[in-house]
A and B are shown apart, each in its own frame.
Chain A
Amino acid sequence: MNLRRHLLEATTLVLLAIVCALVANALASRERKLALIGNYPDALKVPGAEPTPAASLASEGGATASSKSPFEEKRPGSHEKSAPKATAPAQASEARNFSSSPADLLKRFPPHNKPYVEISGDAAAWLVARGALVLDARRTRDYEQGHIAGARSFPVWEGDIDARVTALVGEGRDSAIPVVLYCSGGDCEDSHMLAQKLYGAGFNNLLVYRDGWPDWVRRGGMSATGPES
């Protein structure tokens, strides 16, 4: 009889924990809220090329997501090293205007039809300077403390990430145009996970800036602070 009572008490504690968790999550702020059913693709899994809605635009990418990016081999050496430096706002906004057409971006970074390809800081700087879409996969608080100028916040560990991805798809962007994703460098996999989500949504030119924010700061790249405007 005692065992039955103890089991009932233990079950009550578990049920109470579930109720408290659901109520607390419902009342939590956006940054602290979680979707009840998680959607976390294996960040580092790189399946073979599969047709996607934008596959028709794909070139012979043959890109792999190994630590060595094929784009690094393709890039013309010296001029790529002209990473954008911290500049005055006027210069920064000028640098963010397309200085080359999307066709130029595509010429150098053709769709690879893989979840992601890792790129170096030089390649990221080249893309940022030409107005490529940049997505920051870190937590909102990290984004607000500092991010690549013009980057949009896509925190993969916060509850509204799938809504953000859906909204991005709804913007009707050409899914073949390069998109740069980054997080905290090192062993951070958040940008890879974001790439998996976007690849699943039809984007097929996702470029993960593998050294991420710490490298961008080291380079003195254009940055901004505060919430997403």
Chain B
Amino acid sequence: MTPREALASPWLTVRVQIALGLFFVAAALPKLVDPPSFAHMIYNYRLVPGALVNLMALVMPWLELLAGLALVLGIWTRPSAGLVGALLLVFLAAISLNLARGNAIDCGCFNVAVANRTVDERLADMRLDVLRDLGMALLVGQIFWAKARGGAPAPAA
């Protein structure tokens, strides 16, 4: 088996789907438990009009949960991976823009509690968040690449 074949193998793709799906389910849960705190996090990004903050805070966690569950269960994997990829692009753009303008914020990715941290600590975490999201975007890329090569895995569940 060549490295290309190994990267597109159903064995790997199933595991990538499950890992990515679990990431998104884990990210959704704290936001579902406390929507007002997530709304606060979205507001802090200073990118979304105030009128849309609450709608985003309510819908985005459910989108993360449903897309994540679909990936884990192997249902509608292509559209789910597409939605996850789109969300990752939004997250990457939002964090990068705030990094570029020096607005130190809590990511709100896996935890929506306000943490009392210094500006430097927040900026350092934001850089790590960008790297983590890029890594997850690579996982999305693997899923699409494997599917394009015809290595569609059987449903995991």
Kindly state the separation between the CA atoms of A158 and B38 in the bound complex, as whole angstroms: 11
A7 touches B66 (CB 8 A): no
A58 contacts partner chain B, Cβ-Cβ < 8 Å: no
Q: Which of A1-60 contact B (CB under 8 A)?
A: 6-7, 9-10, 13-14, 16-18, 20-22, 24-25, 28, 31-41
- A38-B52, A39-B51 known; A24 vs B62 contact (CB < 8 Å): yes
Q: Is A186 close to B, CB under 8 A?
A: yes
Per-residue CB contact flags for chain B residues 56-74 toward chain A (1 = under 8 Å, else 0) read: 0111011101110010000
Stretch at the interface among B7-15, B78-86, B94-102, B124-132: B78-86
Min C-beta distance of B136 to chain A, whole Å: 18
The 10 A-B pairs at the shortest CB distance, nearest first, are namely A10-B79, A40-B50, A17-B62, A38-B54, A21-B58, A38-B53, A9-B79, A17-B63, A157-B36, A34-B54
How many of chain A's residues have a CB under 8 angstroms from any CB in B? 33
**A139 at interface by CB-CB < 8 Å:** yes
Q: Which of B34, B62, B70 contacts A20, CB < 8 Å?
A: B62
**Cβ B50 vs Cβ A13 within 8 A:** no
Give the nearest-CB partner of A188 in chain B: B114
Residues of A within 8 A of B36 (CB): 31-32, 34, 139, 155, 157-159
